[in-house]
Amino acid sequence: MKVNNNNQGQEKTLYVGAGLVQILCFNPNRSELDRVLGIERADDYEQKPEFEYVKDDATIKVKRKGEDGEEFEDEITCKKLTITAWVQENKTEEIFPINFTLYDVDDVSSTGKTKYVTQHGKSTYVDSESNLPDWFKFTPGKKKMPLSYRVAKKGEASFLEFLAKWTNISPFDIESSLFPENPKKFWNGDMKELNNLIADFGDSSVMVQFGVRTKDVEQEDGSTETKEYQTISTKSFAGSKYMKFFRNYASKNFDGLLKDGDNKNFLSFDTKAKIGDDSMYELANFLNNIHGEYGVSEFTTLTEIKEYDPSENPLNQEKSIVSSETDADY
């Protein structure tokens, strides 16, 4: 096992590209995290305050549309829940945090549409519950069984998708549900239900996208320093089986999956592509969400995970990078 520890003043290795990760734990306290990272503290080590995963009075800005059709920004106060999944990437064996931020408020778009989510982690926006499509409300196939669904909380759909890809939950299994059995405990930061899943799915992997975020940080003297931070996108995920297909396509410059397009600012992948009897919808959807028109803002690459080369990042062509860091406080 290898652990990147930036506490010794060493520059952290950053990564970009698609990788497979296994989940080690959810929302550990500091001593639990030390065990996961293999860190032994000295007897005179001054312990830091515990992580704050729950905030009861968080402020969030949401976009609304007024009666005149004009968009405006509204500010509301609600409970905020941070879920940090500590994961180990299979190829590099490095350990990383993935942070999900959930707000205890209904997920409503700026156009007034409400997001719904099913027990299997599927989600969609609709203007009315009566307009939810059958593919969302029922299991696939001829024998359609009704699924449990409800209005999603803000940020929840992304986390449930992550769980769905990790557990490979069957779309036909109406007995299984990703909804917490005790929502009150869950929103109060009790991750027992999630951590219990690791016993059954500890060897399972999920496909994620690594990237690097560049940020200008103002210093005390008024100057700015450019810093780089490791990211793992929560915008999209794919099941682990799609990594072999990703490698296959990558070996031939994504011929057969990448669509020809006139716009050079983003890529488009064919959701109708197939390899044999295997649909590439999930892989193409993952890649479109990362590299497409509405993809991620951080720098990343259409490759399997690799060490980040700052010279490849167009944002750095006129900048001098001071340091590479992680957002994790450990």
pLDDT tens for 266-300 read 899 999 999 999 999 999 999 999 999 999 999 99
More confident residue, 216 or 229: 229
pTM, two decimals, is 0.90
Q: What is the pLDDT of residues 225-279, one digit of tens each?
A: 889 999 999 999 999 999 999 999 999 999 999 998 766 788 999 999 999 999 9
CA distance 243 to 5: 28
Q: What is the gyration radius of the CA atoms in the chain, in angstroms?
A: 21
| Gap between the terminal Cα atoms of the chain | 17
Tell me which residue of 168, 160, 157, 194 sits closest to 53, measured CA to CA. Answer: 194
At 9 the pLDDT is 45
Q: In the chain, where does DSSP find H-type helix?
A: 30-37, 134-137, 156-167, 183-187, 192-201, 242-250, 281-291
